[in-house]
Structure 1
Amino acid sequence: MIFILCQDYPNKNHKYAMSYVHSRNIVYKARDLDITVVSMSAKESYSYEEIKVITKSDFHKLIRAGHLSSSDIVVSHAPNVRSHIPCINKVYSKVKQIIVVFHGHEVLYTSKYYPKPYDFKKTSKFKKAIYNIYDFFKIKILKKLLLKINKVKKLKIIFVSEWMKTQAAFCLNIDVDQFDTYVINNNANMNFLINNYSRESNTLADFITVRPLDESKYSIDLVVEFAKCNPELKFHIYGKGMYFKYNEKPENIEVFNEFISPKDFPLLLNKYKCAIMPTRLDAQGVMVCEIATYGMPVVTSNIEVCQEMLGEFKNVYLVDLNFFHQKVDLNFIEKNIDIKNEQNAKFDIENTVEKEVEILKMT
C-alpha cells in the first residue's frame, strides 16, 4: 500500500485543492499502484474519481492498529510540520520507504523569499514575528526529520525543479546530495497534452490572466499596470480575491470571480490571443507550464525558475519588470500562434509522473 499525505485534496465541493497531487494519483492508479490518500483537511473519508481518501484521524487509527507494514510506502507532498511530521515520525520505522516531495513554501524561509504583501494584506509586527519563529522551527524540525530517516536508509526526496533543490539545500543548510534525490517536474493536466491551442476568430479579449488575486507573488498588480499602459487592449482576469476592493480597476479589465475546471480551461484559452501570467516567485508554476504546453502565446516573468521551466518554449515570452510599464504592439505574438514545438513533451506524463511510478515500483 502507498499512503499519500497531503494537506488538502479535491472533493465534490472543492475540485481544485492540490489538484497537482490528484493528477499524479490518477496515473498511479492506472499503473496498478495500490494508493490511499490521507487528506489532513478532510473531516470524513470519501472517494474522489475512484481515489480513496481518508482523514488524518483514520490514518492514525491504522497506525495504532498496526496495519502499516514493512511493505508500505508513505509519500508526503509539501510536508507540513504540524500534520505531516507527526505522522511520519510514527511510521518511518515501520514502513519500507518515506518519499518527500518538495513543492515550495514548506521548505523556504517565507520572509526571505516571498515578496512584500499588498498593503491591504499587511500584518502587524507581532504576527510577522510569529511567522518568522514558525519558519525557524519549521526548517529545524524538517531538517532533523530528514537526517533521521536518511540514517536508516529509508528516504527519497523529489524536488519539482532544480531551483527548488538549490533553495531547499540553502534553507536547510545541508548537502542534499547526501540523500537519494530526484528532480521531477509537476505534469501538465492531460487536457493540455492531448489538445492544441486554436484561436477562435472572434476572441473575447486580447489577454487572459488566471491568478489568485490577493497574493503578491502572483503579480496581479503588474497586469493592472500593463492594462493602464495599453488602454486599447482588453484584459480578462479569472480568479478570486479582494484585490479590486482596495485597488482601482481600469476600464479595459473585466474580472471573473471564479476558477476554471481543467477540462474547460483549454477551450476557454482559445477565446483569447495571449495569456499574461507574471510571477514574483515560483517553484515551477504549473498553470503557466500547462498554457505553454498547450501552444498558446504566453507572457511570464523573466525569473530563474521560469527560465528553467520555459526558456526553450518558442511561444513563451520571458519579460523583465519594465515590460509591464510600457505600451506594446500586440503583433509581437502573431509569429508564434499555434506553436507546438519540440518542448511540448517536457511536462507530459512520460517525463514526469512515469518517473515517479518507476521510483515507487523499485522502492
Structure 2
Amino acid sequence: MTQLEAGRVQETRTPELGHAADDDFLGIKALLVANAYPSPSAIYRNGFLHRRVVAYQAEGVRTDVFYLHPPASDPYEYEYEGVRVIVGDEDAYRQFVAANHYHSYMVHFATPSMLEPIRRFAPTVPVTVWVHGFEAEAWHRRWFNFVSDPAAIRAAVRKKYDYYDGQLTFMRELYSDESLDLVVVNVSEWFQKFVVEPDAGVELAHGEVIPNFIDNEAFPYKSKRAEDRFNILSIRPYASRKYANDLTVRAIQELSMRPYFDHLKFTLYGEGGLFHETVSPLDAFENVEVNNRFLEQAEIPAVHAQHGIFITPTRFDSQGVSMCEAMSSGLVPVGTDVSAISEFVRDGVSGLLAAPEDAIGLANQIERLYFNPNMYLRMSTTAATSVQESCGRANTIERELKLIRRGVVHV
C-alpha cells in the first residue's frame, strides 16, 4: 500500500512499465490518456471519464487508462472497478507509448506532453481528442473568479502569459494538424462555435459535437408526483464561482419572503473552499438542509427520487452534466440561460431558465412550478425524454465507439 493523494489504493509497481495486459486480447485495445482519473480514495476525479470507459469495455473495447501525473516520478498502476490505470510522469508516459501497441488513442484535457509521444511512436493510429473547458479557453473566460479581487486579477494576467498563451497556441496547431488521424470532439455546439474556435482563432478541421454521456441505467426516470415540486435539490461543487451557488442562496432568501416558503424544502450538497461562506446565510431557515459533502454516484438516484426540482444556476458551462443527470431522473431543472445550457434545456418545455445573474428570476421560476403542478409534471417527463435523446447512449457512446474503431479492420 502506498499514498495516492488524499487516500490509499492498492498499487503495482511498474519499473519498466512493461506491456499492456492481456496481449493476446483479440478485440480492440484502446488507451485513454487524461490528467486525472478516479480511484477508491478520489471517486470524483474526472468521474465522467470512468463512466465512458466502463461503457466502452461493455461494448468489447478493452480500454486502459494512463493518468499523466507529473509528480509520479516512480510509475505505478492500480485497478478501479475493472479498469487498469497506469500513473506516471511524462517520461513514464513516453516509455509506455513506445513499448505498447494500441488500436486507438483517446486524449482528454490535451497538452503537448500527451500528444508528442503518440505523434512520435504511433503516428498512424487514430487519435480522438475531447475538449472540455479550461484547456481550450482564453484567460478571461473565468472572469467571475477574479473580478472582485485585485490580487486575483494580477494572478490571472500572469497566468495568461505563463499558461494560456502557450496552451492556446498548442490547441490552435492541434486543431489544424494534418499529420495525425485526428478527430476533435466538443461536448456542445455552443462551446465549439463560441469558445473553442474563437479563442484559438481557427475553425476545426476535424471536429465533432458529442455531449457527455448520461446513463439512464445509472439515472433512471422515476415518475414524479405533483407534490415533489416542493422538494428542491442542489448538488454542486463549491470550488469556483462558476457554479453560481451564491445565486441559489439568494434565490432561497428571496423565496423566504413569499407566503408559501414554508411549503418548500431545499437540500444542498457540495464541497469546496467557498462552501461555508456561501451557505452561511441559510442557517436561519429550518426548511433548508445543507450537507458539506459530495454524494457517491450510487447515492444520487435515491436522492433524485426524493426531490422534484433541480436548481442549477451557472456562470459558464459547456454542458452541465449534473443537471442532465437530474433531468434523466425526472427532476425539472431551474437554471441560467447562459453558455450551453439552452442547448440541453428548452425553456418552458424541459425546464425553466432565468437570465444571467438573476437570483430573483430563479425564485420566480420556482414559483411558476409551485403554482402550476400540471406544467411541472409535463416538464418532468419531457426533461427525461429530451436528455436521453441528446445525451443517451445512441448519441454519445455509440458515436464515440465509431471514432475509436475507425480505421481498425484487422481485429
Same-fold call, TM > 0.5? yes
Q: Which residue of the partner structure matches residue 22 of structure 2?
A: none
Q: Does residue 73 of structure 2 align to residue 55 of structure 1? A: no
Q: Which residue of the partner structure matches residue 75 of structure 1?
A: 106
* Pairs within 5 Å for 1:163-182: 163-166=190-193, 167-176=195-204, 179-182=205-208
Q: Does residue 185 of structure 2 align to residue 158 of structure 1? A: yes
Deviation readout 1:157-211 (Å, 9 max, x if unpaired) = 11111112112111111121xx22211010113445534254597x797321111
Query: Is the alpha carbon distance of 1:131 and 1:197 closer, same or farther for their aligned partners in structure 2, counting shifts above 3 Å?
Result: farther
Query: Is the alpha carbon distance of 1:209 and 1:119 closer, same or farther for their aligned partners in structure 2, counting shifts above 3 Å?
Result: farther
Query: Is the alpha carbon distance of 1:214 and 1:49 closer, same or farther for their aligned partners in structure 2, counting shifts above 3 Å?
Result: closer
Shift of 1:265: 0.7
Query: Is the alpha carbon distance of 1:173 and 1:16 closer, same or farther for their aligned partners in structure 2, counting shifts above 3 Å?
Result: same
SS at match of 1:207: strand
Q: Does residue 160 of structure 2 align to residue 132 of structure 1? A: yes
Query: Is the alpha carbon distance of 1:321 and 1:362 closer, same or farther for their aligned partners in structure 2, counting shifts above 3 Å?
Result: closer
| Greater mean deviation of Cα atoms: 234-243 or 347-356 | 234-243
Distance of 1:263 and 1:17 partners within structure 2? 16
Asked if 1 retains the 8 angstrom alpha-carbon contact of 2:224 and 2:308, the reply is no
Asked if 1 retains the 8 angstrom alpha-carbon contact of 2:311 and 2:334, the reply is yes
SS at match of 1:249: helix
* Pairs within 5 Å for 1:219-258: 219-231=244-256, 232=261, 233-247=264-278, 248-250=280-282, 251-252=284-285, 253-258=288-293
Q: Which residue of the partner structure matches residue 32 of structure 2?
A: 4
Letter in 2 for 1:206: N
Q: Which residue of the partner structure matches residue 172 of structure 2?
A: 143
SS at match of 1:275: strand
* Pairs within 5 Å for 1:288-327: 288-311=323-346, 314-321=349-356, 324-325=359-360
Deviation readout 1:112-165 (Å, 9 max, x if unpaired) = x22322789874454222211111111012223443xx3224211111111121
Deviation readout 1:268-296 (Å, 9 max, x if unpaired) = 02222311000110011111011112211
Q: Which residue of the partner structure matches residue 189 of structure 1?
A: 215
Residue ranges of structure 2 left out of the alignment (5+ in a row) = 1-28
Distance of 1:197 and 1:115 partners within structure 2? 40
Deviation readout 1:231-251 (Å, 9 max, x if unpaired) = 124422100123354354222
Distance of 1:136 and 1:159 partners within structure 2? 21
CA RMSD of aligned residues (A): 2.7
Equivalenced residues, count: 350
Q: Which residue of the partner structure matches residue 40 of structure 1?
A: 68
Distance of 2:250 and 2:265 partners within structure 1? 13
Distance of 1:205 and 1:199 partners within structure 2? 10
Letter in 2 for 1:34: R
Shift of 1:34: 2.2
Q: Which residue of the partner structure matches residue 24 of structure 2?
A: none
| Greater mean deviation of Cα atoms: 267-276 or 204-213 | 204-213
Q: Please tell me whether Structure 1 or Structure 2 has the larger radius of gyration of its CA atoms.
A: 2
Shift of 1:56: 2.8
Distance of 2:35 and 2:212 partners within structure 1? 17
Scaled by the length of structure 2, the TM-score of the pair is 0.78
Q: Does residue 248 of structure 2 align to residue 208 of structure 1? A: no
The counterpart of 2:377, out of the listed 333, 337, 358, is 337
Query: Is the alpha carbon distance of 1:174 and 1:212 closer, same or farther for their aligned partners in structure 2, counting shifts above 3 Å?
Result: same
Asked if 1 retains the 8 angstrom alpha-carbon contact of 2:305 and 2:329, the reply is no
Q: Does residue 403 of structure 2 align to residue 359 of structure 1? A: yes
Asked if 2 retains the 8 angstrom alpha-carbon contact of 1:45 and 1:55, the reply is yes
Asked if 1 retains the 8 angstrom alpha-carbon contact of 2:146 and 2:152, the reply is no
Letter in 2 for 1:360: I
Query: Is the alpha carbon distance of 1:229 and 1:124 closer, same or farther for their aligned partners in structure 2, counting shifts above 3 Å?
Result: closer
